Structure formats: structure tokens, C-alpha cells
Amino acid sequence: MKSWIEVPTDSDFSLANVPFGVCSFPSSSTLSSTTLAPCTPRCCTAIGNHAIDLHLLAEAGLLDNLLMTTESDESRCSEIITNFHPRIVFSQPTLNEFMSCEKHVWVAVRNRLLSLFLDSSSISSSNNHIQIAIQADNRLQQNSALQSQCMHPLSTTLYHLPASIGDYTDFYSSREHATNVGIMFRGRDNALQPNWLHLPVGYHGRSSSVYPSLASSATTAENDCERNLVGGEKMSTVRRPCGQLQVDPLDPAKGSIYGPCKLMDFELEVAFFVGGPTNTDYEQDHNQQQQQPRGRPLTLSEAQDRIFGYVLMNDWSARDIQKWEYVPLGPFTSKNFATTISTWVVTSMALEPFRCETSAGVQGGGGEPTPLEYLKDPNYGSYDVNLSVSIQPSSTSASTQICTSNLKHMYWSLPNSSSTTL
């Protein structure tokens, strides 16, 4: 299975990925006649070395008549999705409207993009990382004029926050991570708090200080385009936070002083965006004599289908400030000054072929607490995704890898986390 668009062998954006993001194209000279100006953020995907403008694909009708496919043991049938309007959805400056659709819409859009990117000389087939049969659609391959307008080099693309983030929750999902941080603050004997094996422990972060990764903006971007960044001003540096620091970490009685953080730290995390329509029941409002929508919690099976996709996240941390301030209500100024995320959202569909057991194997084994019924995940597991961190000093172009990990090192599953927040 191959694409007619060149995809380097080491590319992150092969047919197995097809992520979603928000981009603008300040260097483009081919967008002057289109409905959105080059500096206007719009929804995009990526293949090979190119960002693809989904707004223009929709305007050309290439995302019309999407199919929802259902399968049973006896048959497989498809029907056209009628309540989805791609021209409106993909002209938005965020992915929020797209993410608010049901999962079958996300799947249908991604399948259509795969068919448009697939070389028409390829036969309908599947591979290890694309577990469905895709029939090539040659309408983009044969339209050179549309290609020149909707395909843009990644090197000259300006990336934006993929969504307007109203809230986010930070979870302690990895036992290894929770243990390491616990040792840092409380010593080895009290590393895990008593509640940690009973429920996903989390806290609300400050969404106003979530920024796109510093590596995600084209260096040739014009100033007027940079002012269009979703979520605020373009961040060029992380400001070192100030707060209270213990005079003597071994003797709290000596009090604290005020000053800049001296123990700035990073956290390698994977974040996920939650989507789908509002989860509601209807109850009779006796005052207004009509039914009113009421939110209700998600089940674990519902929570799995609400995960739209994943990004890398660095939750910057001021450890010396955090150690003094976090008792009893948790982190405050030590954790809310900057959170950076990668700008391409890798869909849950793309990661499904990499599903695996977690490093824990099971929850509640070996005499440890068994999760309460609402937290028992029938599909308990994670994904085999290698992760690493490298540091590159400003004085050199060389970087040094300082740690490696894997997304399978999880105790609480991703649906465990999402079901407790919705």
C-alpha cells in the first residue's frame, strides 16, 4: 500500500498516521483566490513532507458523501453520513467542531483521506498498520491545480494550537512516574500515597498557558500571521517562574524566601483530546414544565470512543517551588506557568494497531486493591509507543538523549482517566 505523494522512509506522516492539526501558510502565493487568506488558521492533515488544507479539499467536494460502515457476523453495510458539513467544519480555526462529532465521522473522514492519498495504481488492500481495506480515490491525484493550492511544504507551514482548550486534567497514570516523584518529595518509604492504587489521581491544570511546541512554527512566518495564533500570543521562550523556596529543604522551620525557580524540570507526557457530542440525559424541569438536558458520567466503553487523538506534552515544572507549596491542595504556581504540546493530533484509529498490555499487566494483582466496578476496564491496556527526551543547548546544534520510555508503562488506562473527568 503506497501513496502517490512522496513519503520519506523516516517520515512521521505515512499512510499509517494521517493526523489532524491547524495550520496557516504565510509563504503561500497560491491561496490569494481562495475563501481563506493565507494567514488564516484552518484545519489540515499531513502526508510525507506536506501539510494538506482540509478546507480546500472540502470546498472541492472531495469530503462529501462520507460513508459510515457497520459490520456484523453476517454482513457489512455502508450508508452516507447526512449530518456532517465539511465545508463549515474544516474552515474553522480549531479542530473543536470536528472533534465534537461522533467517532464514526472521525473514522469516515480519515478513511476518505487515506483513499485520496492512496496511489490509484495500488489495489484495494490493507497492511499491518491500516486494518481496513481502502479503495483509491484519484480525484486529488489527477487535479494538479487543486494540489498546488492545498499542498504546502511542512518547512514553510505555521502551526497553531489544534484546539481551543477550555480545561485540562493532569493525571498520575504511570506507577513508575508516581513513585519517582513521590520519592523526590516524601522519600522511598512513602512514595505512593494510600489512594493511588484505588483511583486515577489528577488535578486541573491551567488551560490558558497551554502553548504549541516551540519547534512547531515556521521560521519564515510573518508577524501578522503570528498574531493569529489560537489561544494567544506566540510564545518564544518559557519565563522562569518565581515563588517561595525553602531556606533549608531539610528543616521546614527555617521558612522560605521569594525568588526564581532553581530546579526547572520537564515532564514527558502523552495527552489526549476528548471529543464527541455532549453526554446528556433529559429530566423533567417542574418549574419550566419541560425536559432539560442534564450531563451524566461516561461508562468506560463510552469513554474509549470519546478519545479523539493524542499529542506529546511537556508539563514544565518548578520542582523547588512545588515541594513547598503543594501541601495540602496540590501544585499551583510551580505547574501553571507553561505547558507545551505537539501540534499534530495522532488519532486513536492510527494507534489501534499498536495496542498492547500495560507494564502492570493487570490492575489489582498480587494482593493490591482491585479497582471499583466503575473503573474496571474490559479492554484494559495501552499502546506500544516509544518515547524519548533529548536536550539541545542553545549554544550547539547537537542534542543528547537523556531518557527513554514507552506509553505502555501505565497503571491507569486512558479510558480510566477520561471516564473520571466526564
Q: Cα Rg for the chain, rounded, in angstroms? A: 23
Residue with cell 506507577: 175
Whole-number pLDDT of residue 150: 95
301/103 Cα distance (integer angstroms)? 13
| Residue 228 binned pLDDT confidence (cut-offs 50, 70, 90) | very low
DSSP output for 165-197: -S-EEEE---HHHHHHHHHHHH-GGG-S-TTTT
Please tell me the predicted confidence (pLDDT) of residue 284: 57
pLDDT in tens, 28-39: 777 655 678 888
Rounded mean pLDDT, 79-99: 95
**Partners of residue 405 on adjacent β-strands:** 387
Distances (CA, A) of 335 to 142, 152, 272, 314: 50, 36, 19, 11
* Strands 256-260 and 264-265, sheet pairing: unpaired
Does the pTM surpass 0.85? The reply is: yes
Q: Which residues contact 190 (CB under 8 A, 6 or more apart)?
A: 182
Is 357 within 8 Å of 381 (Cβ atoms)?
yes
Choice between 114 and 298, residue whose per-residue pLDDT is larger: 114
Using alpha carbons, select from 281, 408, 300, 398 the residue that is nearest to residue 351: 408
Residue whose C-alpha is closest to residue 370's, from 382, 360, 380, 362: 362
For residues 53 and 25, give the distance between their C-alpha atoms in angstroms, rounded to a whole number.
10
The pLDDT tens digits of the residues spanning 52-70 come to 999 999 999 999 999 888 7
Amino acid at 54: L
Give percent of the chain with pLDDT exceeding 90.
57
Asked if residues 172 and 267 have their Cβ atoms less than 8 Å apart, the reply is no
- pLDDT higher than threshold 50 for residue 219: no
| Cα(175)–Cα(186) distance, integer angstroms | 15
Are 211 and 340 in contact by the 8 Å Cβ rule? The answer is: yes
Instruction: List active site positions.
Output: 177
Whole-number pLDDT of residue 355: 96
**Is a pLDDT exceeding 60 seen at residue 124?**
no
Who has greater pLDDT, 302 or 341?
341
Confidence of residue 233 (pLDDT cuts 50, 70, 90): very low
Q: Determine the average pLDDT of the residues in 406-411.
A: 93
Rounded to the nearest integer, the mean pLDDT of the chain is 86
* pLDDT tens-place string over residues 180-217: 888 988 889 889 988 999 999 888 888 889 999 854 44
